Amino acid sequence: MSERVIIVGKKSISSYLIDVAIMFQEGVSSIVIKGYGHFISRAVDLYNAISSKMKESIKLDSVVIGSEPVAGKMKTYIAIKISRKY
């Protein structure tokens, strides 16, 4: 089992939902939804959409808020880790 990271950007929420569904179908055990800067709110929106669509089949493992260097500058981020219940 593996873990994948989705960096939330300008794509539509529905595109990310499809990506998540495909990853879980491929056997990925957990996914980290990561949003930087003004994409933090979109990462939260994506988590809410996933939990709404998949209901009880996913589990929220952790939420991490922090900052890290990206391209020489400190960027704030949120990392939401989810896993599939079997």
| Domains of the chain, earliest start first | 3-84 (3.30.110.20)
- Cβ(40)–Cβ(76) under 8 Å? yes
Q: Once rounded to an integer, what is the mean pLDDT over residues 33-50?
A: 96
Give whichever of 2-6, 23-27, 61-65 has the largest mean pLDDT: 61-65
pTM across the whole model: 0.92
9: helix, strand or coil: coil
Name the DSSP letter for residue 14: H
